[in-house]
């Protein structure tokens, strides 16, 4: 009996176990490699960010505005002080051609809205309700006294108008450099989303990838070659940071509220208002031009300045076009100083 049982017992077939053994090894290897790659990417991002911080220190001051800091860079002397408010994802670096030119005649301060350039992210959505009092606190803490001439480029025009609406007694004049009209999207039959912004899913994925150094290897945000090399490097360093994608997503989410808030602001009465346009810009013709004309009508003392051959970005980024833009800014400064009509000049 025992003998027959022993005869029926078959040895294990180890060949059947080999595929499972190798599959487990492959899976474990993939997991280890993935973890190593993630750790390496995170270390790469942290190290590169530390190097960028040393290479590109803020040119101005970082001042607390209520639990987070904003960056402001002021040069020149004189009154009124010009306040430069950049386009949607632009920073102090983008004003490199305009700021020193204006500083020849008066004090001029460029600042980074929350999450842009050297400024911290804000805990509140980056709409006008957040930015307007934050900018006011920044100017007070920096010792920058009114009166102000506000200069807004593109989206910066929305924030400039909101500030003028909330603090009208402190704003002596405005310059709108092809400012974004709050009805732009509706008038063009488009949803009220930030133009050219990735969708929510892409932004969420981008935020993750940024934390592992992906955008230091592959960049999707171009830097204008018309800017000086130093400012190009500063912008590339910022665009490679996780904070950049965090802010783009925040701006995108707050965009409808920002437009609604600016629609509620009143006109500018008789404050000097310059609207700067480029003949090579999409804003030069059609419905977009009509909206620029409407912005010009916000003040009873307004004037349009046309820069031949300039496009939407080159009005600030191109040294020759920026010189013409700076001249328009200085004409508003002179109108405020002399209490003269800008439209009559």
Residue 160 has pLDDT above 50, yes or no: yes
CATH number at residue 223: 3.40.50.1820
- The pLDDT of residue 42 is 56
Q: Are residues 60 and 100 in the same domain?
A: yes
The total domain count for the chain is 2
Q: Are residues 155 and 127 in the same domain?
A: yes
Of 66-70, 93-97, 158-162, 209-213, the one with minimum mean pLDDT is 209-213
- Contacting residues for 341 by C-beta, under 8 A, at least 6 apart: 272, 301, 335
Q: Are residues 46 and 92 in the same domain?
A: no
Average pLDDT of the residues in 1-13: 48
Q: Flag whether 7 is in a domain.
A: no
Q: Are residues 17 and 121 in the same domain?
A: no
- The pLDDT of residue 54 is 81
Q: Are residues 65 and 184 in the same domain?
A: yes
Q: Flag whether 326 is in a domain.
A: yes
Q: Are residues 273 and 179 in the same domain?
A: yes
Q: Are residues 31 and 125 in the same domain?
A: no
Per DSSP, the residues of 289-322 read HHHHHHHHTTSSSEEEEEETT--TTHHHHSHHHH
Sign of CA dihedral 297, 92, 227, 331: positive
Q: Are residues 25 and 85 in the same domain?
A: no
- The pLDDT of residue 43 is 63
Q: Are residues 67 and 34 in the same domain?
A: no
Residue 118 has pLDDT above 70, yes or no: yes
Q: Are residues 34 and 100 in the same domain?
A: no
Distance CA 148, CA 271 (A): 11
Residue tagged 């506000």 (tokens):
150
Distance CA 322, CA 112 (A): 19
Q: Are residues 39 and 75 in the same domain?
A: no
Predicted model pTM: 0.87
Average pLDDT of the residues in 135-155: 98
- The pLDDT of residue 4 is 45
Rounded to the nearest angstrom, the gap between the alpha carbon of residue 323 and the centroid of all alpha carbons in its chain is 22
- The pLDDT of residue 231 is 97
Residue 241 has pLDDT above 70, yes or no: yes
Residue 202 has pLDDT above 90, yes or no: no
Phi, psi dihedral angles at 209 (to 5 degrees): -60, -35
- The pLDDT of residue 27 is 64
Q: Are residues 66 and 35 in the same domain?
A: no
Q: Flag whether 343 is in a domain.
A: no
- Residues, the chain: 345
Q: Flag whether 190 is in a domain.
A: yes
Q: Collapsing DSSP states into helix, strand and coil, what is residue 269?
A: coil
- Residues 170-190: tens digit of each pLDDT: 999 999 999 999 999 999 999
Confidence grade of residue 37 (pLDDT, cut at 50, 70, 90): low
Residue 1 has pLDDT above 50, yes or no: no
Residue 7 has pLDDT above 60, yes or no: no
Q: Which domain holds residue 152?
A: 56-338
Rounded to the nearest angstrom, the gap between the alpha carbon of residue 200 and the centroid of all alpha carbons in its chain is 17
Confidence grade of residue 5 (pLDDT, cut at 50, 70, 90): very low
Helix H or strand E segment including 202: helix 200-210
Of 38-47, 144-153, 274-283, the one with minimum mean pLDDT is 38-47
Residue 11 has pLDDT above 60, yes or no: no
- Residues 55-112: tens digit of each pLDDT: 889 999 999 999 999 999 999 999 999 999 999 899 999 999 999 999 999 999 999 9
Per DSSP, the residues of 24-65 read HHHHHHHHHHHHHHHHHHHHHHHHHHHHHHHHS--SSEEEES
* Cβ pair 226, 310 in contact under 8 A: no
Q: Flag whether 319 is in a domain.
A: yes
Residue 271 has pLDDT above 60, yes or no: yes
Q: Flag whether 87 is in a domain.
A: yes
End-to-end CA distance of the chain: 121
Q: Flag whether 217 is in a domain.
A: yes
Q: Flag whether 5 is in a domain.
A: no
């Amino acid at each position: 009996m025992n003998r027959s049982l022993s005869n029926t017992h078959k040895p294990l077939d180890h060949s059947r176990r080999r595929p499972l053994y190798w599959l487990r090894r492959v899976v474990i290897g993939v997991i280890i490699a993935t973890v190593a790659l993630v750790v390496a990417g995170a270390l790469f991002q942290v190290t590169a960010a530390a190097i960028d911080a040393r290479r590109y220190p803020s040119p101005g001051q970082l001042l607390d505005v209520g639990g987070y800091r904003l960056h402001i860079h002021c040069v020149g002397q004189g009154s009124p002080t010009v306040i430069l408010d950049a386009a949607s994802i632009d920073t102090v670096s983008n004003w490199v051609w305009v700021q020193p030119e204006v500083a020849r005649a008066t004090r001029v301060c460029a600042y980074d809205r929350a999450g842009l350039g050297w400024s911290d992210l804000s805990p509140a959505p980056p709409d006008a309700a957040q930015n307007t009092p934050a900018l006011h606190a920044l100017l007070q803490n920096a010792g920058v006294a009114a009166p102000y001439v506000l200069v807004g480029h593109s989206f910066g025009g929305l924030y400039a108008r909101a500030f003028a609406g909330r603090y009208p007694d402190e704003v002596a004049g405005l310059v709108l450099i092809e400012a974004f009209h709050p009805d732009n999207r509706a008038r063009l039959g488009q949803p009220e989303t930030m133009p050219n912004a990735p969708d929510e899913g892409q932004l969420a994925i981008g935020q993750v990838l940024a934390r592992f150094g992906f955008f230091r290897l592959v960049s999707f945000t171009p830097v204008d070659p018309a800017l000086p090399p130093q400012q190009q490097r500063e912008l590339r360093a910022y665009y490679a940071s996780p904070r950049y994608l965090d802010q783009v997503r925040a701006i995108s989410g707050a965009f409808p509220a920002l437009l609604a808030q600016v629609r509620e602001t009143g006109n500018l009465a008789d404050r000097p208002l310059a609207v700067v346009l480029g003949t090579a810009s999409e804003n030069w013709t059609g419905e977009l031009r009509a909206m620029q004309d409407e912005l010009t009508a916000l003040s009873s003392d307004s004037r349009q300045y046309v820069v031949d051959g300039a496009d939407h970005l080159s009005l600030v980024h191109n040294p020759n076009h920026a010189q013409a833009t700076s001249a328009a800014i200085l004409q508003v400064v002179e109108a405020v100083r002399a209490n003269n009509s800008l439209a009559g000049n």
